[in-house]
Structure formats: C-alpha cells, structure tokens
Amino acid sequence: MRAISVLFAVTMLVTSCTTTSIHDAPPQAQPIITMLEAIMGNNIDLLKSVLIDSQLDDFNAEPDRDDGLKELERQMLNAYGTTNLDLNAFRYEYKGNDAAGQVVFTYKGKHTDSIDVVKDGLSWKISSGTKGFN
C-alpha cells in the first residue's frame, strides 16, 4: 500500500498553470486519467496497466487487498475534500520532453499535484508517486 499511498500525499498548492480538461488533456496525462478512473472504478488491472515495471513491482509486492482499491478511493476523496470525485473537474498540464516529464493536475482549481511519467513504447506510464500538494 506504501507505493500507491504515496500517489496521494496531501498538502495544498495554489498555481497559475494553464491546464486543459480531461477531453483536451495532453497524451502524457492519459496514465493519470486512467489511474483516477481505475481507483474510482475499483479496477486493479486498469491501474496496473499504467505503471512502469518498477512501480508495478512495488504494487505487486504489497499485501493482497481484500477491498480492491477502496482504501485508495477513500484517501482520494478525503484528500480532495469530497464524497464524489468528478473526474471532469481535473485540469492537466505536461512539463517535459518527448521521453519523460511531469503531469501537473489540478482539481476544481485548488488542489494541485504532479506525477512523473515516461514514454514506454507507444504509450505513457506513471514512473513515480505524486509529489504531494506542496
């Protein structure tokens, strides 16, 4: 749980980044969008599909989850101060190059976080936990 719990470290940041919605998000944001969908839909296999090998190894080394991803969902809802996470309320910005970088994502204009991503073949994958709202 440690590796994935890091994905949801909580503090706050106000930012003036220009971001795009889920529909206009850069391709580098797709693994973050998929991660959020996987957690909210309690779909472990979908979450695993967007992790690079080292993150996947950490995830697989954790004890079995009797409740799937429900604990992560609870942590996310608590972090964002809501009982119903609106995936369309996120905005995304990519900072990096063609091989690696960071996706900054903001929820309802006030909760901002970032995750490192890398190009893995033709797709982008999550390469680190979140930086936390800082």
Per domain, the residue ranges of the chain are 2-130
The helix/strand/coil state of 123 is: strand
pLDDT of 93-123, one tens digit each?
999 999 999 999 999 998 889 999 999 999 9
Whether pLDDT at 3 is above 50 = no
Measured CA to CA in angstroms, residue 44 lies from 36, 52, 73, 91, 108 at distances of 11, 15, 12, 24, 26
H or E segment to which residue 36 belongs: helix 30-40
- Write down the CATH number for the domain with range 2-130: 3.10.450
Whether pTM exceeds 0.85: no
The per-residue pLDDT for 132 is 57
